[in-house]
């Protein structure tokens, strides 16, 4: 019997999850063989541009329960959700994105301090983040696209006034259906999004 393609394995994994419910996921998580773990890299915005000595704190991104996990989410169709059966992120997806945003903004050298909202100093402004999509979409023709949709809101921390808000979207087609290719597609999408988001935040923080 020929080996299953990743797309086929995703479908089967999703079916097993639907039939077995939480017990199937628990069984997978407790399996003796660990899942391969993948990381993503920051991408700094431009070093030239508006500079500020302000302090910016980045809140933990809001996300649905399906996204707020360390599993790599896959949508085989518009109404179904499953996960790559043999791969995971190095942390929960919201924490991965929070770290990427902080490092990308900091790497520009254009702000006094940027860090997590948990336990940080009193900020001048705060960045609220909502993850509307952070997943692989399987298209009708079988191709797979890493899809990211992020909403950012900058607040004045003194009076909680909304300074500005904007959504950022990007998708990148995977070269093939291997986990490495899928993670590379996420990175390609982030390489476009992170500099754009960092520059926008620094114009408004």
Domain boundaries, the chain: 42-204
Q: Which among 124, 201, 117 is positioned nearest to 166, based on CA atoms? A: 201
Using the predicted structure, report yes or no on whether residue 15 has a pLDDT greater than 50. no
| Dihedral over alpha carbons 121, 122, 127, 133 (to 10 degrees) | 50
Quick one: tokens of 186? Answer: 């996420």
Q: Report pTM.
A: 0.84
CATH code that applies to domain 42-204: 3.40.50.10610
How many whole angstroms separate alpha carbon 187 and alpha carbon 43? 9
Q: What is the largest CA-CA distance in the chain?
A: 64
Distance CA 65, CA 48 (A): 38
Strand (E) positions, 90-142?
111-116, 125-138
DSSP run (H or E) holding 70: none
Position of tokens 């992020």? Answer: 150
Least confident of 7-16, 68-77, 121-130: 7-16
Which of 61, 73, 72 shows the shortest CA–CA distance to 197? 61
* 10 — pLDDT class (breaks 50, 70, 90): low
How far apart CA 89 and CA 83 sit, in angstroms, is: 11
Whether 68 shows a pLDDT value over 80: the answer reads: yes
Map residue 6 onto helix, strand or coil. Answer: helix
Where is pLDDT greater, at 32 or 46? Answer: 46
């Amino acid at each position: 019997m020929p080996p299953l393609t990743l797309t086929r394995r995703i479908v089967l994994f999703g079916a097993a999850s639907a039939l077995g419910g939480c017990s199937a996921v628990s069984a997978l998580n407790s399996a003796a063989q660990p899942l391969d773990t993948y990381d993503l890299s920051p991408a700094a915005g431009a070093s030239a541009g508006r500079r500020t000595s302000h302090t910016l704190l980045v809140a933990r991104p809001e996300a649905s329960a399906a996204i707020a996990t360390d599993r790599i989410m896959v949508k085989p169709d518009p109404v179904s959700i499953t996960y790559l059966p043999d791969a995971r992120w190095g942390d929960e997806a919201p924490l991965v994105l929070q770290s990427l945003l902080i490092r990308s903004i900091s790497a520009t050298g254009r702000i006094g301090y940027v860090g997590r909202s948990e336990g940080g100093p009193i900020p001048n402004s705060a960045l609220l983040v909502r993850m509307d999509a952070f997943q692989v979409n399987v298209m009708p023709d079988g191709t797979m696209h890493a899809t990211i949709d992020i909403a950012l809101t900058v607040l004045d921390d003194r009076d909680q006034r909304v300074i500005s808000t904007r959504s950022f979207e990007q998708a990148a087609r995977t070269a093939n259906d291997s986990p490495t290719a899928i993670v590379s597609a996420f990175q390609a999408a982030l390489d476009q999004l992170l500099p754009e988001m960092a520059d926008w935040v620094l114009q408004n923080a």
